[in-house]
């Protein structure tokens, strides 16, 4: 059994000290409310951002690409008919409480509804976590469903963020999954190594190195400034411990919709032994329409990125379509003729 290490207390303290008050965040960045166009009405997806992530933001810059990802603005109040609460129709994919089965051979377990950061473009910002998180109350049903379906070879831990769990709780969950013989791979989707790098402590590395699984961690960085020295160090520690680490980003207007930014992100990831995996088109979740980058522009950006970088540094441009057998690659052939403006 994994015990709580001293490091476990350290990261949990940082987790609890996240900034949840807009005024405090603006004071840290020497900004006024007039500069950032705060929403007029109360939003049901509140601010939450770790202080270490705020430290990477540029003071006095209301258009800082890291700030734009976490601070609600008036644009979220605009209503768009194609932007809905459940853009990926995930409620239709629920196999058992907390267990989603969208794609053949793999299933996703909602380990927790908690997360260290609330990203404004999150496609699960309206997800019914109270009913679907894999707490003790519902986990038995999810595990029973997994045990009864030998076609599932890979289990994906998501949320929220599964690394929001303590080492003890996370270790117990991994051990329960490892006891299901037909599960071969454990995939963990987490933003914590990026926004709260102290989460990758000795206890977590011990858990990841212990099970019989092939373990993959998909982290989530959208901009090269998210990867500072501390983040780079923990990414390399994960890889050195035997975990395959990939990155998936979301293409976001005003954040990373420039060729230079995408190239620098890929270079920074690879310098820390992480492969760029996916660049996702924005999921049409209610409140996030202002982040949309048109598909044609996205094609141009990726074609220009591919013209500058070796193929292994170019993420696949994809979108997720409800009911599709997998994520859908976006064809770039028509975009290779011309390089876009920067």
Residues of the chain with pLDDT > 90: what percent? 78
Sorted by sequence, the CB contacts under 8 Å of residue 3 that are 6+ apart come out as: 167, 168, 203
pLDDT in tens, 47-59: 999 999 999 999 9
* pLDDT confidence of residue 7: 46
* pLDDT confidence of residue 8: 52
The pLDDT of 81-101, averaged and rounded, is 87
Q: Assign 19 a pLDDT band (cuts: 50, 70, 90).
A: very high
Spatial separation of the C-alpha atoms in residues 106 and 98, rounded to whole Å: 14
| DSSP 3-state percent helix, strand, coil across the chain (nearest 5) | 40, 15, 45
Segment (H or E) for 297: helix 295-308
Q: Is the predicted pLDDT of residue 318 greater than 50, yes or no? A: yes
More confident residue, 230 or 126: 230
Residues of the chain with pLDDT > 70: what percent? 93
- Cβ atoms within 10 Å of 115's Cβ, excluding its own: 24
Q: In Å, how far are 18, 19, 62, 65, 152 from 27, measured between CA atoms?
A: 14, 11, 12, 18, 49
* pLDDT confidence of residue 297: 97
Q: Is the predicted pLDDT of residue 136 greater than 80, yes or no? A: no
Contact criterion met (CB below 8 Å) for 77 and 47 = no
Spatial separation of the C-alpha atoms in residues 266 and 282, rounded to whole Å: 19
* pLDDT confidence of residue 59: 98
Q: In Å, how far are 67, 160, 185, 332 from 300, measured between CA atoms?
A: 26, 32, 35, 8
Q: Is the predicted pLDDT of residue 3 greater than 50, yes or no? A: no
Q: How many residues does the chain have?
A: 342
**Going edge to edge, which strands form the sheet with 244-250?**
94-96, 99-103, 106-110, 154-158, 185-190, 214-219, 244-250, 275-280, 316-319, 328-329
- Nearest in space to 61 (alpha carbons), one of 87, 38, 35: 35
Q: Is the predicted pLDDT of residue 130 greater than 80, yes or no? A: no
CA diameter of the chain: 57
pTM of the model: 0.92
Q: Number of C-alpha atoms within 13 angstroms, CB side, residue 114?
A: 13
Q: Assign 115 a pLDDT band (cuts: 50, 70, 90).
A: very high
Spatial separation of the C-alpha atoms in residues 307 and 323, rounded to whole Å: 33
- Nearest in space to 232 (alpha carbons), one of 208, 191, 197: 197
Spatial separation of the C-alpha atoms in residues 296 and 301, rounded to whole Å: 9
Extended strands (E) in 12-74: none
* pLDDT confidence of residue 168: 95
* pLDDT confidence of residue 89: 82
Q: Assign 79 a pLDDT band (cuts: 50, 70, 90).
A: confident
* pLDDT confidence of residue 137: 64
Contact criterion met (CB below 8 Å) for 67 and 61 = yes
The per-residue b/e assignment along 3-17, b for 16 or more CB within 10 angstroms, e otherwise, is: eeeebbeebbebbee
Q: What does the block give as tokens for 22?
A: 């807009």
């Amino acid at each position: 059994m994994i015990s709580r290490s001293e490091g476990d207390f350290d990261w949990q303290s940082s987790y609890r000290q996240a900034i949840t008050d807009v005024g405090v965040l603006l004071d840290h960045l020497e900004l006024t409310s007039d500069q950032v166009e705060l929403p007029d009405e109360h939003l049901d997806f509140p601010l939450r951002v770790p202080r270490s992530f705020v430290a990477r933001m540029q003071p006095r810059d209301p258009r800082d690409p890291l700030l734009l990802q976490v601070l609600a603005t008036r644009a979220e109040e605009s209503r768009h008919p194609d932007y809905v609460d459940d853009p990926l129709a995930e409620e239709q994919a629920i196999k058992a409480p907390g267990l989603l089965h969208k794609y053949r051979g793999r299933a996703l377990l909602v380990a927790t509804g908690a997360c260290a950061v609330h990203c404004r473009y999150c496609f699960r910002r309206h997800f019914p976590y109270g009913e679907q998180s894999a707490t003790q109350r519902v986990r038995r049903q999810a595990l029973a469903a997994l045990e009864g379906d030998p076609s599932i070879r890979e289990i994906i831990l998501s949320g929220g963020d599964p690394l929001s769990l303590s080492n003890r709780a996370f270790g117990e969950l991994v051990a329960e999954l490892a006891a299901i013989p037909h599960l071969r791979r454990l995939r963990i989707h987490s933003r914590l190594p990026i926004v709260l790098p102290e989460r990758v402590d000795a206890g977590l590395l011990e858990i990841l190195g212990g099970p019989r699984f092939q373990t993959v961690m998909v982290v989530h960085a959208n901009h090269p400034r998210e990867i500072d020295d501390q983040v780079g160090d923990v990414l390399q520690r994960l890889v050195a411990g035997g975990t395959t680490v990939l990155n998936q980003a979301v293409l976001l207007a005003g954040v990373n919709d420039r060729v230079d930014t995408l190239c620098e992100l890929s270079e920074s990831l690879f310098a820390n032994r992480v492969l760029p995996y996916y660049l996702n088109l924005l999921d049409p979740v209610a409140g996030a329409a202002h982040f949309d980058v048109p598909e044609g522009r996205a094609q141009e950006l990726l074609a220009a990125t591919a013209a500058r970088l070796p193929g292994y540094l170019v993420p696949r441009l994809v979108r997720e379509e409800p009911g599709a057998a997998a994520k859908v690659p976006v064809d770039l052939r028509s975009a290779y003729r011309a390089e876009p403006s920067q």
